[in-house]
Amino acid sequence: MNHAFRLAAIAAALGASASVFAAAAVGQPAPAFSAVDTSGKTVSLADFKGKTVVLEWVNPGCPFVKKHYDSANMPAAQKNAVAKGAVWLAINSTHTGASDYTAPAALAGWMKDKGAAPTATLMDADGKVGRAYGARTTPHMYVIDPKGTLAYAGAIDSKPTANPADIKTATNYVNRAVAEVVAGKPVSQPVTQAYGCSVKYGD
């Protein structure tokens, strides 16, 4: 009995742990959410019903994020998606107690300095949105199709390094996924391995 109880307790603990990062599944409805942007406005996924939506997890203190912003690669991807009629939501799930937490006004200023062009930059300090999607890294990318289905989840590109020189020879998975979704085609590589710094969730 004790042995069975122990096994059940271990299984329950593992299940609880896994549920923290119960990643949204490609091919399934994208989890609904609302969050406040850097200007204090509440933004909901439902606001963009019928549109292609890109989600980007961001943290300015991460070397992998710096790679894609300092090189203008991420801003270019944002502009590319928006030009195709998509919505781009950058999301910061870093909790307020983390050493590299960036306050809303500072994050908005950083985005502006980098020439970024997201539709909105959302604050998710309680981690609810990040956990709903299973976002583990910065960057971690998702593309939602106009029907509200998660069509892509993973890395921004095929070179998992912090070296900007690798960008020019990388396959940009997000640009490709956005183009395919906008064209009404299935995403050719719907799941890839995200890379970057770990998202600094609170307890």
pTM of the model: 0.89
Question: Residue 162's pLDDT is what?
Answer: 96
The Cβ of residue 106 has, within 10 Å, a number of other Cβ atoms equal to 12
CATH topology assigned to domain 23-198: Glutaredoxin (3.40.30)
For residue 23, the model assigns a pLDDT of: 66
162-183: b (≥16 Cβ within 10 Å) or e: beeeebeeeebbbbbbbbbbbe
Among candidates 125, 128, 143, which has minimal Cα distance to 194? 143
Q: Which residues of the chain have pLDDT under 70?
A: 1-23
Per-domain residue ranges of the chain: 23-198
Task: Determine the pLDDT at residue 8.
Answer: 36
Q: 3-state class of 99 per DSSP?
A: coil
Q: What pLDDT shows up at residue 203? A: 75
CA distance 50 to 65: 29
> Which pLDDT score, from 0 to 100, does residue 22 have?
55
**Contact between residue 55 and residue 154 where contact means Cβ atoms under 8 Å apart:** no
Closest by CA position to 188, among listed 202, 173, 199: 173
- Residue 24's pLDDT is 86
